[in-house]
Structure 1
Amino acid sequence: MVEELKVITMAEFDYHLMLHIKKLREGRFSQEELSKKMGLNKSFVGNVESLLQPQKYGTRHISLLAKAFGYNSIDKLLNFSTPKYDKVHITIRVTSKMNSVGLPSRGKVVEVKKVEPVE
């Protein structure tokens, strides 16, 4: 098993928005379904939800997400606590999945180990 620790720096708002949208999405839509409902490439939401990818939701996506979830107002979409910090360091452990013969495959398991403010 191949493990690696990585530190990602991003806006705390972006991190919380991603987690909040993921929570809303799960049980209702697959990543691909939500991407299509937003009128975007089928891999968009999966890329946003992956801490290994640079794509994140931007202001353009707020109204697309609200419409996809059937909200008349974006306040329901943004119903989470105001972040305390501008930016955070997110420490993740990335573990390679193994294939049937015990060799690392392309699949990765990502686990958040720590989130701390950027000083």
Structure 2
Amino acid sequence: MTEIYQTKAIFRIEYELILNVKSFRDDRGWSQEVLSGKMGFTETFVGKCESLDQPEKYNLRHIGLLKKVFGFKSLDDLFPNGMPKDEQIVILYKKVPKKKADGSDSKIMENVVVEIVVVDGETKAEVNKQIKSKSRRL
């Protein structure tokens, strides 16, 4: 049986920004390390932001850098499908081996989203406290 992991609560806008940046990066053929360098950060920065099991995520300070690096005219360009709903989510995911070029399994694992759950709460801290409390009771 595959183990299912859970992120802490994040806002949907944070998650969609991560997905969009990854798409923009892939469209340009840039690795995570290349984008990190273009933003002026260590080469592991973007990888941490894109990983579901790392707490680092893009923040307001990074949005202007992303706009500039991708050559966008407006911050709205970071969200080509429109602004996401103002809600918090928890992402359930599993870890699976990445595929090598020959199709065989690599030793490197990647996260695959199983489900996105909308959660109630005004702040991340409030929701994460609720989640922690529920998990202790199980």
TM-score by length of 1: 0.82
Q: Give the secondary structure class of the aligned counterpart of 2:4.
A: strand
Where in structure 1 do 4 or more consecutive aligned residues deviate above 6 Å?
Answer: none
Taking a change above 3 Å as real, the CA distance of residues 43 and 86 of structure 1, as seen in their structure-2 partners, is same
CA distance in 2 between partners of 1:78 and 1:12 (Å): 12
Report sequence identity in percent: 38
How much does 1:112 deviate?
0.2
| Residue equivalent to 2:10 | 10
Taking a change above 3 Å as real, the CA distance of residues 75 and 81 of structure 1, as seen in their structure-2 partners, is closer
Taking a change above 3 Å as real, the CA distance of residues 54 and 110 of structure 1, as seen in their structure-2 partners, is same
Is residue 59 of structure 1 aligned with residue 40 of structure 2?
A: no
Structure 2 unpaired stretches of 5+: 99-106, 121-138
More strand by share: 1
| Residue equivalent to 1:20 | 20
Q: Give the secondary structure class of the aligned counterpart of 1:36.
A: helix
Check whether the contact 1:85–1:117 (CA below 8 A) recurs between aligned residues.
Answer: no
Give the root-mean-square deviation of aligned CA atoms.
2.0
Q: Give the secondary structure class of the aligned counterpart of 1:24.
A: helix
How much does 1:51 deviate?
0.6
Taking a change above 3 Å as real, the CA distance of residues 79 and 27 of structure 1, as seen in their structure-2 partners, is closer
Task: Please tell me the residue identity of whatever aligns with 1:10.
Answer: I
More helix by share: 2
- In the TM superposition, what are the counterparts of 1:36-51 in structure 2 within 5 Å? 36-51=37-52
Taking a change above 3 Å as real, the CA distance of residues 114 and 85 of structure 1, as seen in their structure-2 partners, is farther
Structure 1 unpaired stretches of 5+: 98-104
| Residues 74-109 of structure 1, C-alpha deviations (whole Å, 9 max, x = no match) | 222233332224201111012367xxxxxxx5x222
